Chain A
Amino acid sequence: MAKITFITKEGETIELEGTSGSVMELAVEHNVKGIDGDCGGVCSCATCHVHVRSEDVSKTGSASEIETDMLELDDFANEYSRLSCQLQISDALDGVVLTIAN
């Protein structure tokens, strides 16, 4: 079980709990604004872009090569950017705070 906090572009804070699947799926399931996941989670669309709170980067790890390349599609990409479809939910993610990029 991991508690994950999303902060939307409008500043709304949404706390969700998940046990499996990806962070994108958790967000889509709860209609979190700004996380679309159009491609269904195969790193093909870059519509699930989040910024990881700096102190949580050790929990999420860093982006893979294809993910880094895909993030370039988004003008809001920075060193804390991840595609949330590539973040698998596990206990290790408990407490992370993700700011939605769009």
Chain B
Amino acid sequence: MSDKTLKKLRCLIIGASHAGVNFAFALRREGWEGQIILYDADPELPYHRPPLSKTYLTNEAGMSVTPLKSAESYERGDIQLNLGVKVASIDSKTKKILLEDGSFQSYDKLILATGARPIVPSIPGLDTAKKVFPIRTVADVEGIRYALEDNPKKKIVVIGGGYIGLEIAASLKKLGVHVTVLEREERILARVASSEMSDFFYKLHTQNGVELLAGKNVISIEGDKENNVVVCSDGTKYPADIIILGAGIHVNTELAEHAGLTIKNGIKVDQTSKTSDEDIYAIGDCTLHYNPHYKRYVRLESVQNAVDQAKIAATTICGKEAVYDAIPWFWSDQYDIKLQIVGLFDGYDNMVIRKEEKDKPCFSIWYFREDELLSVYAINNAKAYVLGTKFLKTNQLLHKRNLSDATIELKSASLMST
């Protein structure tokens, strides 16, 4: 193709969060000369989402979001931002998207970075309850801040004891409010951590004054004009000035589904992040993709996956070879505890728990399937996290007895098994 033709190409990106924005800049960096247009329903300049549950409410520097890129960056990169704009549908046959205002835009390449939205559980009374907030957008967290303003002594009930629920509970506790977390499963973090890790976080939150209750199935929200009462199936009731939803997410696959793309617990993509349509790619939380390290399809809710898939898709579209082979990583900050996770622990059948001798909690849990290392969960222990990452990348066999002995230094040489 001539240079002139290349300049006429148009790439549209639906969703301007970590995946979409990183993709746009990566595409430009990889040499795309045509138009790049980002769309997002959120009117805010795209921002980092992890701080919303972690530090946004307690940031000493004042309430402010951290933009992913400055407004000038988009101008310099010749990346057009259409914010506060909803995409209504995709016509993959004529290669056009239809916006909610009725206008069309044609594309040569289309990127779906549609992410996910918080689940609003079908609990009777929740739809009419007062001051109910999920945690996904800056508007959600601003809503919480505003609701707290007139009276910081309010009672808050968080429905769901996953990472988001626990992170926001820690933030709110720092502000001095009364926080109750209601988890439906028999333990917090039931889906995403082993019981040892759940126990650690249970104690951490309890020590910090959070009322953390597992096995609590919320069945209705009662209340009068001013107050909500959260009712559980065991008959217990919890008054709540504010209700926060941390009950997981729904993947936004509707646009892709109507466009006829293959959907299976997410938008199915290949190792270059391409969907079942030659000119449509999908990246980030919304994708179901193959992970070669674990040899199975996974759907991940993480910054790492968003950023890595963005880079792979951009490289591929610019005609270079790249395949997604990242080892997933995650982090969570709660109080003064940093949890770092590398790998996926699902399917483990044994573990090594290693506690370092330090004043504050510092330990790591190493999950194995037989002798194969699957994942490392490190608490205030970046060293274990980093070593775990290296071992996973090289499929290193480990000397488990040395690993479990904290008097033996945590370094490659003493842990490798031959």
A44 & B338 in contact (Cβ 8 Å cutoff)? yes
Convert B21-39 into 0s and 1s, putting 1 for each residue whose CB lies closer than 8 angstroms to a CB of A.
0000100010000000000
Rounded to whole angstroms, the CA-CA distance of A44 and B77 in the bound complex is 27
A42 & B331 in contact (Cβ 8 Å cutoff)? yes
Chain B residues whose CB sits within 8 angstroms of the CB of A36 once the complex forms = 307
List CB contacts (< 8 Å) of B29-64 with chain A: 29, 48, 50-51, 54
User: Is B375 engaged at the interface, CB distance under 8 Å to the other chain?
Assistant: no
Convert A36-60 into 0s and 1s, putting 1 for each residue whose CB lies closer than 8 angstroms to a CB of B.
1011111111000000000000000
Q: B interface, by DSSP: helix, strand, loop or mixed? A: helix
User: Is A69 engaged at the interface, CB distance under 8 Å to the other chain?
Assistant: yes
A10 to chain B, nearest CB (A): 12
User: Of B66-74, B81-89, B266-274, B279-287, which binds chain A?
Assistant: B66-74
User: Of B145-153, B170-178, B248-256, B381-389, which binds chain A?
Assistant: B381-389
A70 & B69 in contact (Cβ 8 Å cutoff)? no
A40's partner among B48, B69, B76, B304 (CB-CB below 8 A) is B48
B69 to chain A, nearest CB (A): 7
B50 & A39 in contact (Cβ 8 Å cutoff)? yes
Q: 8 other contacts beyond A30-B73, A31-B77, A72-B387, with CB at 8 A cut-off?
A: A28-B69, A29-B70, A40-B50, A40-B303, A44-B338, A69-B383, A69-B385, A72-B383
User: What are 8 A-B interface contacts by the 8 Å CB criterion?
Assistant: A31-B76, A38-B307, A40-B66, A44-B338, A45-B331, A69-B383, A73-B386, A73-B390
Chain B residues whose CB sits within 8 angstroms of the CB of A31 once the complex forms = 25, 69, 73, 76-77
A29 to chain B, nearest CB (A): 5
Residue of B nearest to A72 (CB): B386
User: Is B333 engaged at the interface, CB distance under 8 Å to the other chain?
Assistant: yes
Rounded to whole angstroms, the CA-CA distance of A70 and B50 in the bound complex is 19
Chain A residues whose CB sits within 8 angstroms of the CB of B50 once the complex forms = 39-40, 42
